[in-house]
Amino acid sequence: MSGLEIALAGYLAFGQLLPQGQHEIVKHAGLQAIHADGAVTLRLREEGKAVRDENGATVTTVRYKDERYPFEVTRHVKSWSDCDAVETWVEIKHSEDGPVKLLRADSFASAVDVPAKEVGVLSLTGKWAREANVSESKVANGQIVELASKAGTRNAWESNAAMMVSFGPSDEESGQVLGVALEWTGTTSRRIRRSWDGKRTEVFAGVDMTTGPYTLDPGKVFTTPRAVLVWSAKGRGEVSRQFHRWARNHLMPHGRELHPVLLNSWEGSYFSFTEKTLTDMMDGVKEMGGEMFVLDDGWFGRGKYARDDKNQDKTGLGDWYVNEEKLPRGLGYLADEAARRGLKFGLWVEPEMVNTRSWLAEEHPEWLLREEKRPLALGRGGTQLVLDYTNPAVRDRIFSDLDKVYSSIPSLAYIKWDSNQNIVNPGSTFLPADRQPNLWYDYTIGLYDLLARFQAKRPHVMVQACASGGGHMDFGFLRYADEFWTSDDTDPYMRVFIQWGASQFYPACAMACHVTASPNHQTKRETPLKYRFDVAMCGRMGFELHPKDLKPDEIEFAKRAVSDYKRIRPTVQQGDLYRLASPYENPYSALMYVNGERGTGNGERGTGNGERGPDAVVFVLGLKDNGEKPVSLNLTGLAENANCKISEINAADPHGAALEGRNLRLTLRGPYDSAVFVLTRID
């Protein structure tokens, strides 16, 4: 059967009768509806199964019908031959006499029949600048544990849309673990329920409908987000690797390409720049070996609402035309200046949002999400609100305004898509009064519609998902984007933890990691330049500073570091990740990326753009303790019999590390010390 046993076979619907003798119905359900006539149960019968090929993937569909009501459910399960992940989702439709109310409509709702004395759950939690903290607990007998995301746009903060459920003890290398991740950028709920005797464990994942029931009209189809499932009998590390491989191969638009070393202008200039500031930055990043320049916030808006040095973040969102006072020669000129230096050009936008102080809000006050009888709750800058993406007219306008901007930059290569406000005024003038709770789901569908339109028109443009940092860190957005801005916190010490957390589910190539100034702008921490580079090299490395603030010797260091990064980039961005030592348990963190091409590990032949990286790369990242720290690592990513030589890169003063078999030993010399090693197989 597989396709993870057709996504674990069942789908728990409210009201199904449990086997005879129990005199009970399914109460903890993934699907719950109130029929048009008020009845509340579902009695679904399997009607048939079909299997089809979809571009090399296998898709199985299972159709169910209610015994008495014209209510249908179709479950889909998609699997691939080159990775162990499966996707599953559900379509719901009916032809009852009036609308049906969906109280729950999970993507996945099954009993997982794996006997285990204990069941545990791992998830990611956090907030602005503290994303992706690893959070773990046990699910005791008779308990339901629910993980629920924040409301609306920055959904990944409170609880990221992914989790790992372990059956029995588990660690990086051992244990039975089910990974579940929702492809959804809106509100999500994931639940694990254990029966009173611990013999049965049920797992649910889907859109969070505690924001109100979804009203579904006859003949319309409600499609749940896709859930991605991964099963591993070899611990959490394998779950992560399978998620990474699936995302690169089957989800991200440019997942198999190498992602560029870029400089993003934000921390280097904030809102304060002229054309010269930006061309100076281009000179700097070019000199250091960078490949792209990205212009962040502050380039748009006009007149009293210009997004300038004075107004900062209080004005202009929604007014997508260049501020000609600030940039008289326009964006095309800047892109040409970048091209003259051999750099690609990217641009920041925040299309879901509007400021009350903008020409768009004056023209269309009815396009802002708001509840009619309540005063507006205002976000960033005291003026920021969310646009009503349930309304196609709003999406058309944003598409057409931004499309004009993009057309003025023929060489546009990258968009940073930001989103800096939650849905805190959950009301739509577009949706009828009795459909207001539909807002949460319909908003995200509207967002994907717009992202898909941009993608279809400019498929070569890479997109970064940003929502005040890692608020859009989810597989739903990654169908349209190639990376996320991992966190606004660019302090490398904090990043060791944030990136460790993000790596549980998301691949290194999707993690934007930038070298910034010291002291760090968010935490004021001072760290060595080498440490800042080494931490950023664990993902898609870039810069977020003004290069003129670096001293000549630092520029020289940066040049070597960028060149070293380019050498290891295919292995880091496309290889298999082995997490060797957790920063939660050690005074350091250690990561190993393995290029599968020569059979060093279990990896794929992933060397984007045809470039080949080293056989393996190992990062050892010290934390903040003061003394010397002996480090002894078991390089679990190496085959047992592998014979390798080791060399340290990006080091003025090497650590003198020793490799014996799979054991790597070195001594870290104090706070924020770090080392990067390249392994070459010699057998």
Residue whose CB is less far from ligand GLA, 128 or 333? 128
Find the part of the chain contacting ligand GLA (CB under 6 A) among 462-470, 492-500, 529-537, 566-574: 462-470
Taking the C-alpha atoms of residue 271 and residue 303, their distance in angstroms, rounded to an integer, is 16
Find the part of the chain contacting ligand GLA (CB under 6 A) among 239-247, 300-308, 464-472, 634-642: 464-472
Minimum distance, C-beta of residue 262 to ligand GLA, in the bound complex (Å) = 13
Q: Which residues pair with 167 in a beta bridge?
A: 119, 176
Measured from each CB, the residue nearest to ligand GLA is 297
Active site residue 488: yes
Tokens of 600: 């060093």
User: What angle do the packed helices 552-574 and 529-536 form, to 10 degrees?
Assistant: 20
Residue whose CB is less far from ligand GLA, 246 or 348? 348
Q: How far is CA 157 from CA 33, 154, 184, 420, in A?
A: 29, 6, 13, 12
* CB-CB contact of 88 with 77 (8 Å): yes
Q: How far is CA 199 from CA 116, 143, 194, 666, in A?
A: 8, 12, 7, 46
Length of the chain: 683
Active site residue 396: no
Minimum distance, C-beta of residue 514 to ligand GLA, in the bound complex (Å) = 9
Q: Is the peptide bond before 507 cis (omega within 30 degrees of 0)?
A: no
Residue whose CB is less far from ligand GLA, 388 or 488? 488
Q: Could you give the string, one character per residue 480-499, with x where binding to ligand GLA holds by CB under 6 A and - elsewhere?
A: -----x--x-----------
Residue whose CB is less far from ligand GLA, 66 or 131? 131
- Number of residues counted as binding ligand GLA (CB under 6 A): 12
Residue whose CB is less far from ligand GLA, 93 or 416? 416
Taking the C-alpha atoms of residue 182 and residue 444, their distance in angstroms, rounded to an integer, is 13
Instruction: Write the Ramachandran bin of 67: left for phi over 0, alpha for psi from -120 to 50, otherwise beta.
Output: alpha
* CB-CB contact of 199 with 216 (8 Å): no
- Regarding 595 and contact with ligand GLA (CB under 6 A), the answer is no
Q: Which is catalytic among the residues 84, 297, 482, 488?
A: 488
Question: Coil, helix or strand for 216?
Answer: strand
Tokens of 273: 């720049």
Give me the amino acid identity at 639: A
Residues 255-284 that bind ligand GLA (CB under 6 A): 266
Question: Coil, helix or strand for 615?
Answer: coil
Residue whose CB is less far from ligand GLA, 398 or 439? 398
* Given 14, 64, 246, 348, the residue binding ligand GLA (CB under 6 A): 348
Minimum distance, C-beta of residue 298 to ligand GLA, in the bound complex (Å) = 8
Minimum distance, C-beta of residue 418 to ligand GLA, in the bound complex (Å) = 5
* CB-CB contact of 623 with 496 (8 Å): yes
Residue whose CB is less far from ligand GLA, 316 or 507? 316
Q: Which is catalytic among the residues 418, 442, 489, 673?
A: 418
Q: How far is CA 15 from CA 33, 99, 200, 215, 586, in A?
A: 10, 19, 19, 19, 49
Sequence-ordered alpha helix ranges (H) in 197-356: 236-250, 266-269, 275-288, 330-340
Minimum distance, C-beta of residue 257 to ligand GLA, in the bound complex (Å) = 23
Which helix (H) or strand (E) segment holds residue 452: the answer is helix 439-457
Minimum distance, C-beta of residue 496 to ligand GLA, in the bound complex (Å) = 19
Taking the C-alpha atoms of residue 343 and residue 382, their distance in angstroms, rounded to an integer, is 36
Find the part of the chain contacting ligand GLA (CB under 6 A) among 189-197, 278-286, 465-473, 528-536: 465-473
Q: Could you give the string, one character per residue 294-313, with x where binding to ligand GLA holds by CB under 6 A and - elsewhere?
A: --xx---------------x
- Regarding 543 and contact with ligand GLA (CB under 6 A), the answer is no
- Regarding 468 and contact with ligand GLA (CB under 6 A), the answer is yes
Find the part of the chain contacting ligand GLA (CB under 6 A) among 15-23, 182-190, 207-215, 466-474: 466-474
* Given 420, 421, 486, 595, the residue binding ligand GLA (CB under 6 A): 420
Q: Which residues bind ligand GLA (CB under 6 A)?
A: 266, 296-297, 313, 348, 418, 420, 466, 468-469, 485, 488
Q: Which residues are catalytic?
A: 418, 488
